[in-house]
Every structure is written in structure tokens, then in C-alpha cells.
A and B are shown apart, each in its own frame.
Chain A
Amino acid sequence: MTAPVVIFAVGNPSRGDDALGPELCGRLEKWLENRGLAGQVELVEDFQLQIEHALDLAGRQLALFIDAGTGTPAPYSFRRIAPASGMAHTTHALPPEAVLQVYVQTESQPPPPAYTLCLRGESFELGAGLSAAAEANLDKACELLGRLLAAPRLADWEAIASAAGCGQT
């Protein structure tokens, strides 16, 4: 059975604060198990987003993309996103909005409501661990996820995204 919520956690565990996504994913996995919610949320961890991730959106009620960001206000931004067709592409990786658009084009239907949780990172060197600032941001993001996932509802996510300090890009 398809879990109603899918969470994509993106990043390289060995590149400093790029590990924020995988770290949060690891914590989340334990939290979901302890709460008996593992069947409600599917976690997808990867180095980066790609076109095939669009297929993981099928049959979901909510989708969340977690990643580290460089220009993000600390500790994080949480916001609703929409499919975007005219976005520039970095390279072999896609931004979350483009994954949604690939879903629209390949499945011929709108994607589920989707949000990004972008945690501010400071340093992205190969072999480095998480920075102290990123650790602090991670803790705060965990608190947010606890609120989002205790009983995932679109109205609650929308309200949180609209709240002061959470709707920033």
C-alpha cells in the first residue's frame, strides 16, 4: 500500500552540511518507527533529485522535499511549491519544482501538494562533518517535522508554511 506522505531527503553524507538531508532522514526514520507511523510516511533518500523521483509522487496526499541550502535563512525555510516549467536546471540534478513538473507531464495530472524544507548549511567540503550551526538547524527542523507528521494534514502544513518565519524561500 502506498504511504500517503512521501519525503525526499537529499544530500551527500560526506560533504559537510550537505549531510543535513540524510541526517534528518535518519532521525526521522527512528522517530516514525517509535511513533508507529512508519507505514504513513515513505522516506526516499538520494544524493540529488532526478527525473525518476517524479514517479514516487504517484498516489500521495502530501510530498516534502528536504535539502540543505546556501542562501536559506537560518534555521530553515518551509514553503509550498508548485510545478515549474521554465526553471533553469543546474546539471544532472533537478530542483523540486521541476520534479513536480515532470510528474505533471508524464502522468497527465497535478502532483500532490508539495513543500520544501530547506535547512541552512554553511560548509560543503568533502570529508567534513556537520557544522555547529547546521547541527542547531537540524534540531529545530526535527521539531518542525514532529509537528508536521504527528497527524499529517494539508491544512496544518499550509498554516505552518504561512506562519511567520516559515514561509521564506
Chain B
Amino acid sequence: MTYQLETAANPEKLRRVAIDPVSRVEGHGKVTILLDDQNKVHQVRLHIVEFRGFEKFIQGRPYWEVPVMVQRLCGICPVSHHLAASKAMDVIVGAKKLTPAAEKLRRLMHYGQMLQSHALHFFHLCSPDLLFGFDSDVTQRNIVGVAMAHPETAKRGVLLRKFGQEIIRVTAGKRVHGTGSVPGGVNKSLTIAERDLLLKDVYTMVAWARDAVHLIQKVHTQDPGLYNSFGIFRSNFMSIVGHNGDLDFYHGTLRARDDNGKIIFDGVDYQQYDKYIEEEVKPWSYMKFPYLRSLGKEHGWYKVGPLARVQNCNQISTPFAEHERREFVDYAGGSPMHAPLAYHWTRMIEMLHAAEQIKELLHDDDLLSDDLMVQGERAMEGVGVIEAPRGTLFHHYRVDENDLVTMANLIVSTTNNNQAMNEAVRHVARRYLHGREVTEGLLNHIEVAIRAFDPCLSCATHALGKMPLEVELVDVEGTQIHALSRA
């Protein structure tokens, strides 16, 4: 299956623009655009050089090591992998229902991660675009530029990050490489001192999260011509939803809606995910393209992440976030919002929900309990799914009688959004680049569209000196005629 602008008819006759790698996106991202002599766009592809060595890295290890080891797959969202693997291994050890303390401690860890991840994205990665404009000076378009122009905003971003990291530290045992979640439960509860330390600041965090929602709401609604249309495409949505259809990042059943909001499936036990989701391989990309089996490759692809979750759920259980969800739904006018830039608004609603959930949990004495572990009948296969900051994350394992992992399959959030991101990039290329001289500011429009999804490319390698941004214009003969670099 190919889509409009996915594959040009005569690529050998076209000029190639490559954005390699995409800045402020983890790992290696590359956009190639094929233009003709009049700068008309004929082909646009987002290539994500996803490392496909996950399975080998995990295979052969004892199952109880996996929740710790998988954190090393990604330096950006190690907690997501830690918890998804733990949930899969809960099934392996027969822990059908965790103790209240264990589930709440895991949830606290997860909400801490959602808070810090969403704060990082909003205040660090996208606020430069939103506060300065997509065409602004490249040297200003970063967190340091934000800090200079908007010091209070930048400081809040830093402190929200720090608060989320502190939650991870006290629940996982360490700031990084934590071991808090284990198959069947957790190995650590909170001390009173740890809880009180967090309680001291949580009300401020809730207030700042509310302010952040109002800030992005204002930015979005003041320029509807841009924010409601930039990179827009229609698609299905998918996420897990919790009890009664609540927004739930940690546990629930799979729900998918079509582009009009009509339910495609609901209440699906994620242990059966592979009966509902298939992954397509395309020759030009290392990353797979998942789709809903019932709709097929052409119509079955979908969006995940904040924009999907906030519109897929029936309601949000915390009052401030629910109020903001209703505001968002009202603004959308009763039908699903598909604009990629609306991800920012919904991401902040989720950050507010995470902050409120943290506040509620910190008042729950179950966090101090020592009743942390359960076990049951041993199984040979398990699936764990959570809603990671960037979207639905699947971990699927088989384990042999010697407790060693024999099969691992991961579908990470960014893979779930692969087709959606490609569609957004194609729309932006068509709208802003078509027939125009390519400039750095115009190319940043492409990156703005990608950043809206907050992709994480499964790469924690970041050695100094790596990952410059280079843009090359190459003529039909392959000769470089122009280059831009941000290194």
C-alpha cells in the first residue's frame, strides 16, 4: 500500500532534500523530500532508523531481569519499558491482581514519568516553536532561548521535571536504572519522609500544570487558522481506556475509534492484541507500520498518544483535567480534532491529570504498606501494555521452563504513530514547501509537525559530537548544491 506523496513516479529525475537527523527528536530521524526543477514536491518520507535489536537483547535472559534490562532500550522513557515489561511478567508469574499498594506505587511511578516527560516536551522541545514562531532564529529555538525570553516559564519546566524525577527516584529506588517494579508487584514502598517531601510541592505542581494548559489553550485558540490546520490529516485513534472508559495511562482495555469518533472495537483484552493489530513492513523504512486488522493496511492505521487518549476516553477522573478535557471537546465542536498541533493542548491536559493523580495518591496510606507482592500459577506467555507518554506501548514475551525469555515482541509508541507522522509531514511539505525556495525556516515547519507527536526513536546513545542536523539539496546527478547545518 502506498499513499499520496509516499512514492514518486520518476524519483531519478527529482532533487532530493534530506533533513538528517531531525533535531530535538531522539535517535536518528531523517526526512527526505524529492522536488522537481520548480520545487514542486513529489515524494516525502520520514525514515526512522529504529534499532531492531530489541528482541535479541532480551532473548535468553531470565524473565525477572527483563523489567530492569529493558530500561536500557531507551534513555528517554525507561520507566515506560520498566512497567510494560513488569506487567507482562505479572502474567508469567500468575499475578492476576496486584496488591493495592503495589498497583498504586506503580501508578505513582508512571504518573511521575508522564509529568516529567510531558513537561520536558512542552517547556523544552516545543515551547521554542510555540513562543517564538516556526520561522524564528534557529539559535533562539531551544530551551535556552526560552529561558532568556521567558525565565519563569523555563524555570517551571525545570522544576516540574525535577518533581517527576523525584517521584521516579523514590518509587524505583534510584534516579536511573531503578528496580522498584518486579514481576508480581514492587519491592519498595514509600517512607513517610519520602511521601511528605513530595506532598510539600505537589500543590504547586498542580497549579503550574493548570497554567500550562491555559497557556497552550490560549496559544492554540488565538491562531485557529494555523493550529487547527497545520499538518492535518484524518485517521483512526487507539489507546487503552480504564474502568468506565476513564482516561487511564496504566491499565485498561483497548479501544479504537474511526476518524468520526465511532467505535471500531472496545473492551479488548490486550493479551489478544495480535488478533487486532498487524504490522506492515515497507522497503524504504526500518520502522514497521502497524494497522488495525479489521480495516486493512489502507484504512487501518491510527494515531496514539495524548490526542488519541483524550478523545478516546469517556471522561477523566480528576476534576481539573476533566474540566479542561470538556473545554477541548467543546472547542473541537463535537467531532474529533485531528490537527497535530492539538497534541500539545491534550498533552498538557494529561500532565494536569498526572499531577492531580499524584496528589491523590500521596494522600493514600496504601503507599506506605509492606503488602507488595503476589504470585499465582506460572504461565509461559504474557503481554503488558501501558500508555507511555508518547502512546500505547506493547511488550509481549514467551518464557521457557528454565525461566529464560525465548521470544520478545515490542511495539513502541513511535512505531504506532509511524504512518500518522508521515502523513503530517507530507501535508506540511505540500502546504509550505511546494513550489517555494527551501529555507531553514520552512524546513523547521517539517520538524514542528514531527515534534508534535513527541517521537522517541528508541536510542539512548547520545555521545558528544553526534547528531548534528544537516539538510542537503542534491541535484539530479547527485551533486550537492546547497547545505544547511545546525551542528
Contact = CB atoms under 8 A, between A and B. Distances in A.
B468 interface: yes
A51 interface: yes
B25 A91 contact: yes
Interface in B343-368: none
Of the candidates B51, B158, B469, the one having the most CB atoms from chain A within 10 angstroms of its own CB is: B158
Nearest to A44: B175
A23 interface: no
Interface stretch (B95-103, B142-150, B223-231, B282-290): B142-150
Nearest to B457: A91
A85 B148 contact: yes
A51 B467 CA distance: 19
Contacts of A84: 144
Contacts of B23: 88-91
B468 A89 contact: no
Contact of A12 (B162, B460, B487): B460
Interface string A123-137: 011110000000000
A121 B461 CA distance: 11
Interface in A1-52: 10-15, 17-18, 44-48, 50-52
A85 B145 contact: yes
Interface string B446-487: 000000000010001111111111000000000000000011
A73 B122 CA distance: 36
A106 B151 contact: yes
A127 B463 contact: no
A106 B145 contact: no
Contacts of B145: 85
Interface residues of A, number: 49
A108 B152 CA distance: 11
A105 interface: yes
A125 B54 CA distance: 11
A69 B463 CA distance: 5
Interface stretch (B67-75, B267-275, B414-422): B67-75
B142 to A, nearest CB: 5
Contacts of A10: 462
Chain B CB within 10 A, most for which of A10, A12, A48, A116: A12
B155 interface: yes
Contacts of B142: 87-89, 98
Interface of B: 23-27, 51, 53-54, 56-57, 69, 72-73, 75-76, 78, 116, 120, 123-125, 138-139, 142-145, 147-148, 151, 154-155, 157-159, 161-162, 165, 175-177, 456, 460-469, 486-487
20 contacts: A12-B75, A47-B176, A47-B462, A50-B120, A51-B124, A52-B158, A67-B464, A69-B463, A70-B463, A71-B464, A71-B465, A84-B144, A87-B142, A88-B142, A90-B24, A90-B466, A91-B467, A92-B24, A92-B76, A92-B125
Question: Would you list the 7 A-B pairs with minimal beta carbon distance, nearest first?
Answer: A47-B75, A105-B147, A14-B72, A86-B139, A71-B465, A88-B486, A12-B460
